[in-house]
Amino acid sequence: RQLCLLLNAENIFHSMADILLREEDLKFASTMVHTLNTILLTSSELFQLRNQLKDLKTPESRNLFCCLYRSWCHNPVTTVSLCFLTQNYKHAYDLIQKFGDLEVTVDFLTEVDKLVQLIECPIFTYLRLQLLDVKNNPYLIKALYGLLMLLPQSSAFQLLSHRLECVPNPELMQTADNSKTSSSGYKRPSASNIDYTELLQHFEKVQNKHLEARHQRAGRAEQLERRVVL
């Protein structure tokens, strides 16, 4: 985390992934991958890097994903979490299907449990909201059901089960999205003269300013804390 504050976070993770890919101690490699993944998913210092990976819009971000993926394969559950982060839901589902051929140990189930807890964290808010779009995210729902089937009857099972119960019925969503209003229903006056696209862009602009301000305050607080320690 400290290195990512001082140096380029993308380069650090790229270098660490390259080193771990050549690591011969498989237990150590798996532990390191799990630790790095936890830092990637939970540290405020890596917010920008998470955003780059989430969208995979640039060749650099796609290259980083492929590099991380090859090393993250040392840990199956961590690999799935990387696919969730990068919105590769079809591939996450394909990976979970392969779990049936793996040795399912207590440690393995513990990691699945932790992944379920992470899905409930603020970092994966976008993933939970995508559950509303059932039609366009079938593999996300299938992947989550796959995790559910891997888990024994536990608190994590109940947590994920309750989350999936919130997934709306596609038919009801289709009815809600239908622009035709029934004759008996209320029809609001036309608001076509309002530029909702511009309003949405303004909202994003203002929120980005708040985000930058929060990160600047957090950075100053970190520097002050280090000075006090020294």
Per-residue pLDDT tens for 118-172? 999 999 999 999 999 999 999 999 999 999 999 999 899 999 999 999 998 877 6
Residue 219 in any domain: the answer is: yes
What is residue 176's predicted lDDT score, i.e. its pLDDT? 46
Q: Are the C-beta atoms of 92 and 80 separated by less than 8 Å?
A: yes
Alpha helices (H) in the chain, listed in sequence order? 2-6, 9-21, 26-42, 47-55, 59-72, 76-85, 89-98, 106-119, 125-130, 138-150, 155-165, 170-177, 196-229
Q: Would you place residue 91 in the very low, low, confident or very high pLDDT band (cuts 50, 70, 90)?
A: very high
pLDDT in tens, 67-87: 999 999 999 999 999 999 999
What is residue 215's predicted lDDT score, i.e. its pLDDT? 77
Residue 185 in any domain: the answer is: no
148 or 173: which leads in pLDDT: 148
Residue 177 in any domain: the answer is: no
189 or 202: which leads in pLDDT: 202
Residue 173 in any domain: the answer is: no
Mean pLDDT of 9-26: 90
Query: What pTM was computed for the model?
Result: 0.78
As a whole number, the mean pLDDT across the chain is: 85
The number of folded domains in the chain is: 1
Query: How far is 116 from 156, CA to CA, in rounded Å?
Result: 6
Residue 184 in any domain: the answer is: no
Range ranked top by mean pLDDT from 22-26, 182-186, 193-197 = 22-26
Residue 65 in any domain: the answer is: yes
In 3-state terms, what secondary structure has residue 85? Answer: helix
Please say if the pLDDT value at position 2 is more than 80.
Answer: no
What is residue 170's predicted lDDT score, i.e. its pLDDT? 75
211 or 50: which leads in pLDDT: 50
Residue 72 in any domain: the answer is: yes
Compute the Cα dihedral for 127, 131, 134, 139 and give only its sign: positive
Please say if the pLDDT value at position 191 is more than 50.
Answer: yes
CA dihedral 200, 202, 208, 209 (to 10 degrees): -160
Q: Would you place residue 181 in the very low, low, confident or very high pLDDT band (cuts 50, 70, 90)?
A: very low
What is residue 202's predicted lDDT score, i.e. its pLDDT? 73
Residue 116 in any domain: the answer is: yes
What is residue 178's predicted lDDT score, i.e. its pLDDT? 53
- Domain with 71, as residue range(s), is 1-168+194-229
Q: Would you place residue 183 in the very low, low, confident or very high pLDDT band (cuts 50, 70, 90)?
A: very low
